[in-house]
Chains A and B, each alone.
Chain A
Amino acid sequence: MSKIKELENLYTQGKLSRRSFLAATTALGVTAAAVPGLGIAPARAAKKGGRLRYGSAHGSTTDSLDPATYENGYTMAVNYSIQNHMGEVDANGAIQPELAQSWEASPDAKKWVFKLRKGVEFHNGKSLEAEDVLASVAHHQGKDTKSPAKSLLKQVKSIKADGKDTIVVELEAGNADFPYIMSDYHIAIKPSKDGKINPTDGIGTGGYVLEKFDPGVRTTFKRNPNYFKSDRANFDEVELISIIDVAARQNALTTGEVDAADRIDLKTVHLLKRKPGINVMETVGFKHYTFPMRTDTAPYDNNDIRLALKYLLKRDEMVKKVLRGHGVAGNDHPISPSNQYHAKDLAQRGYDPDKAKFHLKKAGASNLKVQLSAADAAYPGAVDAAVLYQASAAAAGVEIEVVREPNDGYWSNVWMKKAWGACYWGGRPTEDWMFTTAYAAGGSWNDTFWKHGRFNELLVAARAELDVAKRRTMYYEMQEIVSNDGGVVVPMFANYVFAASDKVAQPSKLAGNWDVDGMKFAERWWFA
């Protein structure tokens, strides 16, 4: 996969022609469709105008404009339309300054200085100043915040303004990836008044001004004429419509009721592709599906049992049957082929009942019986994946009982409560972020309750390391440790599949950090 990434980078940088790119990728056995952005003509100049209507698979009447509650694809699209962040993840997965003009770290990566962009205005006319950033960050800190970004910001020892457009952040320990953290999608920069933001006012610096927010139904925006990025936010108006039902969403797209839609049904995507005028797109992101085991609970506290179970699933079959080929097999660690330090040399674990039997014997558990909890709330097809797992594990005499859990309340009652279950991760743009969130000892979302001395040492050391080569070695070792010792089975990484009418044009390369061009389609796309 990394070879392809390399080719892809050459292609997008114009160092490789489309023809030789295609030839090279075909030689590698990859179709062009697997590579984001290639199905689409190379970059054209963006045009202004038109009203984009977008059908979202998310959206609920209980959605709120408060950045601390952003959780689903719908609120994220609203967020990225009306608000900006300190930085943004570009199509290559690198962080670029957005509201910040630039940033700089001290040699130990403990002190970060952010310079703010000048001349940026909020929708209410207020100019962007350091106090706005401080108030926006403070919304996610402290005893009374409900924000998921709170745990990310725990590493911040102090955050201060130095004049009107400089922010100085001191961290508890060095973090070379801190600009990614400061740009977390929750930490939208909003205007402050008396040191506080009004979280639900819908005002930001973004490319679109919020017109009407009707949660669970639709949201309308108008272009922000004073937007600081002159080549972005090209639509005159944008309408986000919540269409939860997948058949309704695809019908709306094929009948021209909407111009773009996300979460295409993988079972029928081949039919949708045949429709003239519809452009189906796919990006390889960080999203992965997992089966976390609680390593603090028997029998999963024994690594031989964990390894045996890791040898007992047919990953390629799952990619083929659950994802219909729209994904890649996982290697029992959470770092995607799209991540910068993906351990490409780590041998891919395959289906091997003999090795599983060996480990089971070592653990003295030849007739292992376990329960696996699953619900489609974990990810679409989780129950099917669990049943496939059950079938392939039977070959080694392991009896997996699939427990079908209710979708309702899955995250509060099953995930991290049952000893073994299904889960998904949207993934994170940096290795450190992903590992810290779900694998660091004592982390709130360490869903395997895993504690590994060497891993946790490396985590802290790699975080503060500014030398790329040294970091790479450390992250490679960490991926190996998680794969061979961790409590998580990662069967697959799922691609993002979405579609638009061919009247809508996209940049030649789409971002994969989130669904639909990093959820920034409203800002980055235009009508051809």
Chain B
Amino acid sequence: MVAQRLVLGLLLIIAVSLILFLSVELLPGDLAEEILGQGATPETVAAFRRELGLDLPPHERYINWLFGMLQGDMGTSLANKRPIAELVGARFGNTLFLATYAAVIAVPLALTLGVLAALYRNGIYDRIVNIVTLTSISSPEFFVAYILILFFSVKFGWLPSIANLGDEHGFAERVYRLTLPAVTLTLVVVAHMMRMTRAAIINLLASPYIEMASLKGISKTRIIVHHALPNAWAPIINVIVINLAYLIVGVVVVEFVFVYPGLGQLMVDSVSKRDLPVVQASGMVFAGVYILLNLSADVAAILTNPRLLHPK
């Protein structure tokens, strides 16, 4: 089954690449015009196109690209001739680092808050947690980011306002400089996971086996952690994975505000300059991440669910 999903995933990725290619083709202008900007003249644009091979018909360019890709050659950026594998690889590493950092804070936090909210549901704690997390998820990311910058960098001066990192920065420095972006992302994703944890657990609390457990006099905490939670994992894992995927593919605004060189920024730059091979490669990476994470969510849901693990 996993093999079948992988093959389907691969076909999906190729479909995504075709859609990306066609959408960028539909955008007005091409790389030669965008790079030369106001300085473009028909002559220089034509020369630039010849140099880049942009004078070929679109289907030839797509097929050339696809063959290269299938042979593991992502090609070079049209704009600055840098190998795309290197370009995308470094940026993807940065994106993963930030996503992992945010996830390490957000996932345990959301689970703990969710379990506690289920435990003390409808109480004052539950309401406060709900209000705070829903407020932070309802505010646009850049707004959350600016508020954090205002207090933690401008007013108190504890943390840097931009995550400007280079090769010379070690792990500790990276973690320090990425604290504000990671906290921003945490504030944005925590509500979704927390609410799902709370809802899934509360949903189960009405079921007969939980009533049985409480009739037996087992403590509330033990009921939730030992009896309800194992059966609630499947929906929670799904939501966690969706949020992880979001942390990887949807953080371009945060990258922008904190000047962090992630893959999202690369893709936006490349779309605006019509650097198709880079757009394609970034799109492939994003689509691949989504497909793999979804697959792993399903596998994890099976592994954590006793009934699915031992079918009759």
Contacts and interface: CB of A to CB of B under 8 A. Distances in A.
Contacts of B45: 146
A17 interface: no
Contact of B265 (A69, A216, A409): A216
A257 B177 CA distance: 11
Interface string B26-43: 011101111111111111
Interface in B262-276: 265-266, 269-270, 272-273, 275
20 contacts: A60-B269, A60-B272, A60-B273, A61-B270, A61-B278, A62-B35, A66-B80, A71-B36, A146-B45, A148-B36, A150-B44, A200-B81, A214-B166, A251-B149, A251-B153, A252-B161, A252-B162, A412-B33, A444-B43, A445-B38
Nearest to B52: A146
Nearest to B49: A146
B261 A243 contact: no
Interface in A116-167: 143-148, 150-151
B164 A257 contact: yes
A146 B36 contact: yes
A444 B42 CA distance: 8
B51 interface: yes
Closest 8 pairs between A and B when the two form their complex, measured CB to CB? A62-B79, A148-B39, A146-B48, A444-B41, A61-B269, A412-B29, A64-B80, A412-B33
A61 B259 contact: no
B154 A254 contact: yes
A144 B157 CA distance: 53
Contacts, number: 142
B157 A63 contact: no
Interface of A is mostly: loop
Contacts of B31: 62
Interface string A57-87: 0001111111001011000000000000000
A64 B34 CA distance: 13
Contacts of B28: 408-409, 412-413
Interface of B is mostly: helix
Contact of B79 (A63, A245, A257): A63
Nearest to B259: A243
Contacts of A146: 32, 36, 44-45, 47-48, 51
Contacts of B40: 148, 411-412
Given A61-B77, A65-B80, A69-B36, 9 more contacts: A61-B269, A62-B35, A71-B37, A147-B44, A214-B166, A215-B82, A248-B256, A248-B257, A251-B153
A252 B43 CA distance: 41
B80 A241 contact: no
A143 B47 contact: yes
A40 interface: no
Interface string B146-186: 10010001100100111010110000000000000000000
A517 B181 CA distance: 34
A218 interface: yes
B50 interface: yes
A363 interface: no
B39 to A, nearest CB: 3
A255 interface: yes
B127 to A, nearest CB: 33
A220 interface: yes
Contacts of A148: 36, 39-41, 44
